[in-house]
Amino acid sequence: MKLVLASTSPRRRDLLARIGAVPDRVAAPDIDESPLKAELPRVYALRLAEAKARAVDRAADEVVVAGDTTIALGRRILPPAETVEVQRKLLGLLSGRRHHALSAVCVIGIDGRARIRLADTVVAFKRLTEAEIDRYIDCGEGLGKAGGYAIQGRAEAFVRHLAGSHSGVVGLPLYDTRTLLESAGVALG
């Protein structure tokens, strides 16, 4: 049995290694990640994780794992910070508030069945000053990330409270991922 990671994220690859799962190959899923009209954040994250897993070709002896991390402020899905302007706006929205980091994982076993779980982590940021936002943007680590920050880096100093899966906020909830991989028959180290 071989493991396929349906993601080009180095963070997801590193997280898998923490549970003894080394992908035999990595495949980039090509899907439209636009939210559907009135789609709720939980539904969105679950849909994307499964779509990513199904978007890669799978041989009969391969198990595919894919994930999606969505940052939600209430019912609002926050986009990735593709530009500095978007990142500044996102950090301003998150400043002094709590939000949900919804990390979905999907495993498609050799039986072809999709197994899906969602880790909902509540993250509360301290109130950020303009200078803190500027310094964080200048470090560059939050660009391209959901919600405009990387919790495994400097943004961790902004977190005044976290309840849930830290690895889920990084990009893959390890407890849930391990459980799904084992249920699909993957032996982990």
Those residues whose C-beta lies under 8 Å from the C-beta of residue 72, and which sit 6 or more positions away, are: 41, 42, 78, 99, 100, 101, 102
Q: 16 near 66, Cβ under 8 Å?
A: no
SS3 51: helix
Report the C-alpha gap between 123 and 17 in whole angstroms. 25
From the candidates 68, 111, 120, 176, which is the catalytic residue? 68
Pick the CATH number of 2-183 from 3.30.70.20, 2.102.10.10, 3.90.950.10, 3.30.365.10: 3.90.950.10
Q: What is the pLDDT along the chain (189 residues), one digit of tens a residue?
A: 999 999 988 999 999 999 999 999 999 999 999 999 999 999 999 999 999 999 999 999 999 999 999 999 999 999 999 999 999 999 999 999 999 999 999 999 999 999 999 999 999 999 999 999 999 999 999 999 999 999 999 999 999 999 999 999 999 999 999 999 999 999 887
Predicted TM-score of the model (pTM): 0.94
Residue with tokens 């799962």: 21
Q: 173 near 165, Cβ under 8 Å?
A: yes
Report the C-alpha gap between 92 and 148 in whole angstroms. 10
Residue 72 pairs with which residues in a beta bridge?
77, 100
Active site residue 68: yes
Could you tell me the residue ranges of all domains in the chain? Answer: 2-183
Report the C-alpha gap between 129 and 159 in whole angstroms. 14
